[in-house]
Structures are given as structure tokens and as C-alpha cells.
Amino acid sequence: MVWQDIVMMIMNLVFALSLIPQVYHGFKEKRGLIKIETSAPTFMGLYAVAFSLYTLSLFFSAISATITGTFWFILFVQRLIYREA
């Protein structure tokens, strides 16, 4: 394990934790507040980064990037379902 893996894991988890209130608010208010043009490339990019990190054997970073990407995917789905900004 390299120290870069730990740093990237921690920062990705901070990013994921910061999205929890947004995801919760979207479900609570039944509103998709994040534009598709923002959420779609973000979740796809994070999944691509996670795959790249995995191929570099940075497993903790890959897992945390996948978690963050999943929160962005949830925001994308909320926008599709609720269709309201």
C-alpha cells in the first residue's frame, strides 16, 4: 500500500460524504436538483477513474471513487425520475 492510495481514498470519501445531504434532500423533496449535464459526465468519469485506479492496484482509492461515483449516479437518476430543477 502506498501513501497516495490512502490520501486519494480519504479525499474521495470526503467528497462522497459531502454528497449525502444532496442525495437525501433530493429524495425528501422529490426533486432532481442537479442537471443531467453535470451528473452524467461526473459519474461516468468517476467510474473511469475508479477502473484506472484499480488497474494501478490502488484498491482503496478505486473503492472510494466508486462510492463517490455511485452518489453522483443517484443524483443523475433523481433528475431522470423527478424531472424538476
pLDDT at 85 exceeding the cut of 60? no
Work out the angle at residue 26's Cα, subtended by the Cα atoms of residues 82 and 52, and round it to the nearest 5 degrees. 95
Q: In whole angstroms, what is the distance from residue 61 CA to residue 23 CA? A: 22
Domain boundary assignment for the chain = 3-82
Alpha carbon 85 to chain centroid distance? 20
Q: What is the CATH number of domain 3-82?
A: 1.20.1280
The pTM (predicted TM-score) of the whole model is 0.91
Q: For residues 85 and 11, which has the higher predicted lDDT (pLDDT)?
A: 11
In the chain, what are the helix, strand and coil shares in percent, each to the nearest 5? 85, 0, 15
